[in-house]
Structure 1
Amino acid sequence: MISASDLTPAELAALLHFHADAGVDWLLEDQPVDRFAEFEAMRAARQGARAAQPRPEATAPAARPRTERRPATKPAAAPPRATPAIPDEQAVEQARFAAESARSLSELKTALEAFNGCNLKNSARSTIFASGTPEGRIMVIGPMPSADDDREGAPFAGRAGQLLDRMLAAIGLKRDEILLTNVIPWRPPGNRAPSPPEIEICRPFIERQIALAEPKAVLLLGNFTARHFFGSTETIHGLRGEWREISVSGRTIPAIASLHPQELLTAPVNKRLAWSDLLTFKNYIAAEILG
């Protein structure tokens, strides 16, 4: 068994991040505790306490019961009625209205933070909106916030974000020169996949972000993101590396999909595939945007 004292500070921090992402709230104690023995000891102590209590005299006359009038019992108050959930269809319409009413990214951020029609917001700590700048006309879109994103309130945080920064730097890009965002603005509980109704409720906000940013090239990261925009059921390995067009607000935008940095942390062997995709992305933006 490995003790915490055997780990370096970096290894211990990585282990704690792993437990937090896995949903662990409490750590085990250093020594095992026999809860059965504790229960038996508590029961024996209670029995001993009852045996030590003096018993009433057998000859003592029975006390005459007193008849007292008790006040009438008030009826129990009815539990508060839960606020009815917004039907999915109505929530989608509200999301579409809120998104289309925004005339800038800052207005859209305000509208998203005020929107309460998606139940994912109830369990998330932060509302994750786009960061960076639309001026570079380059947009990178991920699937949904991670635990690190939710804690820091920004997309692509933590180790995955650090790896993305290195990936972008390898093709001459910086985080603050492009626009980074996610399809889903709230972290689903336990990192579960969002349900189809939740996806449709969030769709107007991500599409409005793209429409307002007006990118000339989009990099889609991860299986969920590629399927969302390409309308396919293939895996990321079948969707990556090829330029396709996505349609948003009547405008077509070139987009290419690649593996998410978190997938590369899990399976580093796939970094060669991601590097090939990045080179394809770099060549396009060099010719069509920077050139």
Structure 2
Amino acid sequence: MATEDQISLFNLPATNEAPPPQHFNPDQIPIDAKVPIPAGTYQTMEQMQSHCSRCFRCALGQSRTNAVVSRGSIQAPIMIVGEGPGQNEDEQGKPFVGKSGQLLDKILASVNLNAEQDVFICNVVKCRPPENRTPTTDEAEACRGYLLEQIRIVNPKIILLTGATALKGLLGIKQGITKVRGQWIEQDDRFYMPIFHPAYLLRNQSRERGQPKWLMWQDVQAVRTKLDEMRATESVSSTT
């Protein structure tokens, strides 16, 4: 169960610094979902990887090949949160490396964003659900502390939520992705945007106006514009 200050992302600190947790045994985290993951548990992604690689907080740990924690830069201004690993990701130990990931990289490149330098990519759950099914609420909750720690460490300016599972798991919004995609949600001094999951785009190939691929193009351009605006504001602030 999450600690009180991790129940909602609306309480996340605006900085990636956090006091070290006290009065708990971190060695119990990977083996008991009832053990909380307080802010400040991990100082590096390697520490988290060590826990995730031997994590059995839910049943997904019993069937995984590899824990899939992240790829990209921890200094990235943009974080992308997916649902969970697929077969390719489970085999390689990195998120979004199959066909969906290849499409995602192309989408980012279309607005001059490098998937390894400008973006940090992770998932709601770190282990592959059998048959690529949607993670259960309990599975997402068991992994939630890891995700919140990733957000704290990276401290991104923008978080893109790919699909309904990421939207619900992170912000608690249960609306369909088609109703909220492309909208900016400002919380915790960050900007969140729900977007289509790349896998959905692979099933909807039309590029006609109003179709998913066309809408995704509008969304990714808006992300690029927002990032440029934020950087320009920071630049002005630093010179005044």
TM-score using structure 2 length: 0.77
Partners of 1:245 and 1:122 lie apart in 2 by: 37
- The equivalent residue for 2:166 is 225
- The equivalent residue for 1:287 is 229
Partners of 2:166 and 2:105 lie apart in 1 by: 19
**Which of residues 81, 93, 97 in structure 2 aligns to 1:153?**
93
Partners of 1:193 and 1:118 lie apart in 2 by: 14
Partners of 2:183 and 2:82 lie apart in 1 by: 17
- The equivalent residue for 1:267 is 204
**Which of residues 214, 220, 226 in structure 1 aligns to 2:155?**
214
Asked if the contact 2:41/2:149 (under 8 Å) is kept, the reply is no
User: SS at the partner of 1:176?
Assistant: coil
**How far is the alpha carbon of 1:91 from its aligned partner?**
3.1
Partners of 1:92 and 1:271 lie apart in 2 by: 38
Counterparts in 2 of 1:252 and 1:110: CA distance versus 1, 3 Å: farther
Partners of 1:252 and 1:127 lie apart in 2 by: 30
**Which of residues 173, 176, 179 in structure 1 aligns to 2:116?**
176
In the alignment, structure 2 segments of 5+ residues that lack a partner are 1-30, 207-211, 236-240
**How far is the alpha carbon of 1:245 from its aligned partner?**
3.0
- The equivalent residue for 2:182 is 241
Asked if the contact 1:236/1:258 (under 8 Å) is kept, the reply is yes
* C-alpha distance after superposition, 1:176-204 (max 9, x if no partner): 11211111100101112222211111110
In the alignment, structure 1 segments of 5+ residues that lack a partner are 1-89
- The equivalent residue for 2:55 is 115
* C-alpha distance after superposition, 1:226-285 (max 9, x if no partner): 122231221110121011035xxxx44211111011100011231001111111111100
Asked if the contact 2:53/2:66 (under 8 Å) is kept, the reply is no
Partners of 1:96 and 1:113 lie apart in 2 by: 16
Partners of 2:134 and 2:36 lie apart in 1 by: 20
Partners of 2:165 and 2:89 lie apart in 1 by: 17
Higher helix share: 1
Residue type of the partner of 2:229? A
Aligned length: 197
Asked if the contact 1:95/1:115 (under 8 Å) is kept, the reply is no
**Which of residues 107, 120, 124 in structure 2 aligns to 1:167?**
107
Quick check: which has more Rg, 1 or 2? 1
Question: What RMSD, in angstroms, separates the aligned Cα atoms of the two structures?
Answer: 1.8
**Which of residues 245, 258, 266 in structure 1 aligns to 2:195?**
258
**How far is the alpha carbon of 1:95 from its aligned partner?**
5.0
Residue type of the partner of 1:134? I
- Identity value in percent: 28
Partners of 2:32 and 2:186 lie apart in 1 by: 28
